[in-house]
Chain A
Amino acid sequence: MEQIVVPKKHNLRRNLTILLVAALIIGSARFAGFSIVGTLSGILRGGRLLGRMFLSPAWSYAPRVVDPLVETIRMSVVGTFIGALVAFPVAVLAAENFIRKPLISRPLRFILNIFRTIPAMVLASLFVAVFGTGAFSGVLALAIFTFGLISKLTFESIEAIDYGQVEALMSLGANQINVLRYAIVPQILPQFLSYTLYGFEVNVRAAAVLGYVGAGGIGQVFEQNLSFRRFDRVGVIIILTFFVVLAIDFVSSAIRRRLV
């Protein structure tokens, strides 16, 4: 039988891509001062450190971790609440299918995008600089972070609603507020509550480190003990924080599953 000859496939593009990616990885590693020897010795040192943290944690220190932990949760609750509260009306204005005023929704979406690109840590250090150390700065940072997160998710939910229900309400002679109350809120409320709970989960984790820049909560105690090299206490803080975050995530996602 006659052989079929097809032209050879050109692999130039693929080879060039591989070369480029390899060059980027090696280049960045050099720039970052990465070395294999350094990493290995780091792992050994890290292992010793972990041993000091978790082999004999200073359990007697636990009672003194409770208050800052509770403060962390409180900060998350208040921050989430304020953030969600502001996020709702803003999301309504930012959704393009309801108000239909591009002059409002476009700039609003742009601002929301900016808000979401700022990490909570950066916000917190900013507020610590302005308002001083303490939980207030942390709450403010969490509120703004939550606001950015929830408003974005919510306005996307509003834009995905069944518009027929809005049309029906308009045909009844309803004004915008009634349309919101009877056609939009019933449709997005479960999602909104779910986003708020999700924001709370994220905030508890974020709040745990916010103290590092002086914004209150467990992070602050963590940072102090770390600087005194009290690794046995650091171990206790990490273990307790871990279980609190785990418990909150568990409960919150269980509720969220029921909501939507």
Chain B
Amino acid sequence: MIRFTDVSKVYPNGVRALTDINLTVEEGEFLAIIGLSGAGKSTLLRLINRLIDTTSGAVEVDGMMVNRATGRQLREARRKIGMIFQGFNIVKRMSVLSNVLSGRVAYHPTWRTVLGLFPEPDKQIAYRALQRVDILEKVHARASELSGGQQQRVAIARALAQEPRVMLADEPVASLDPITTVQVMDYLRQINVEDGITTVANLHHVDLALKYATRVVGIRAGRIVYDVPIKGLDRPQFFRDMEQVYGRPIHHDEVLGEA
């Protein structure tokens, strides 16, 4: 479970990114966050694993106050929170296997990981993770040789290797073509459903949110302005409601259709 209590974030340059965020994400939910660029979606996501510090309020993940965790405590909290990025952020000069194994760094003493000595069970975890996203045959390839969609799958495998309880996805498909987009989103849903991993994804496309999420939260200018479950959603009403999030309603012909 993820809980934001009265969270605000002001960047050092004075930009007010988030104001009074109160949000609870239940175990096993697939939450899509939508909103314009600059609305605060990425900031919200990065507060969950403290890649960014909160200015005030509390962020709690599975009972741990992440916004106050430091050092080893923070690293152990992050270990349980997988994250994938718009730019994939896998290490291109390493093999696919090394990338996925790096998902295990927080489980072992530093001397071991620095030498790259991951025990056999970890390798099995890595192989299984690669198998789940159907890319095991690339295990020894150099990451830079892979296509964008393949790189994102390796990134998902790396996050899976963490054996996380929570998965964060920051615009996971924004750099991908429509076909690969569906693949990557399917993997995320599969992981969410089969493993019960709570998933929070920032999405640009409203239709992807509708198709994959169990709940949609809209952010505008740093505030939560919209929050509905997808189950039993009245779609025409939903598109009209998008005015609260995007400043004007979304028309049917602006949606990508059934992605």
Residues of A within 8 A of B (CB): 162, 164-165, 167-175, 177-178, 181-183, 186-187, 189-190
What residues of B have a CB within 8 angstroms of the CB of A178 in the complex?
102, 105, 110, 113-114
What residues of A have a CB within 8 angstroms of the CB of B49 in the complex?
171
Select from chain A the residue with minimum beta-carbon distance to B94: A186
Interface residues on B, range: 20 to 34
Interface residue B90 (Cβ < 8 Å from any Cβ of A) = yes
Nearest CB on B from A167, distance (A) = 6
Interface residue B162 (Cβ < 8 Å from any Cβ of A) = yes
Structural contact, A181 and B114, CB atoms closer than 8 A:
yes
Complex Cα distance, B85 from A167, in Å, reads 10
Select from chain B the residue with minimum beta-carbon distance to A170: B51
Structural contact, B91 and A182, CB atoms closer than 8 A:
yes
Complex Cα distance, B87 from A164, in Å, reads 7
- The number of inter-chain residue pairs (CB within 8 angstroms) is 78
Complex Cα distance, B115 from A177, in Å, reads 11
What residues of B have a CB within 8 angstroms of the CB of A183 in the complex?
91
What residues of A have a CB within 8 angstroms of the CB of B76 in the complex?
173
Complex Cα distance, B76 from A167, in Å, reads 16
Structural contact, B90 and A174, CB atoms closer than 8 A:
no
Nearest CB on B from A161, distance (A) = 11
Q: Which of A165, A172, A189 contacts B105 (CB 8 A)?
A: A172
* Interface CB pairs A-B, < 8 A, 22: A162-B89, A165-B91, A165-B92, A167-B51, A167-B85, A167-B89, A169-B102, A169-B105, A170-B78, A171-B78, A171-B168, A172-B106, A172-B162, A173-B76, A173-B78, A173-B105, A177-B114, A178-B105, A186-B91, A186-B92, A186-B93, A187-B93
What residues of B have a CB within 8 angstroms of the CB of A172 in the complex?
78-79, 102-103, 105-106, 158, 162
Select from chain A the residue with minimum beta-carbon distance to B107: A173
Select from chain A the residue with minimum beta-carbon distance to B102: A182
Structural contact, B106 and A181, CB atoms closer than 8 A:
no
* Given A168-B90, A183-B91, A189-B93, A174 contacting B83 (CB threshold 8 A): no
Known: A175-B75, A177-B114. 14 other contacts (CB 8 A): A162-B89, A165-B89, A168-B90, A171-B83, A172-B103, A172-B106, A173-B75, A173-B78, A178-B102, A178-B114, A182-B94, A182-B102, A186-B93, A187-B93
Interface residue B200 (Cβ < 8 Å from any Cβ of A) = no
Structural contact, B89 and A168, CB atoms closer than 8 A:
yes
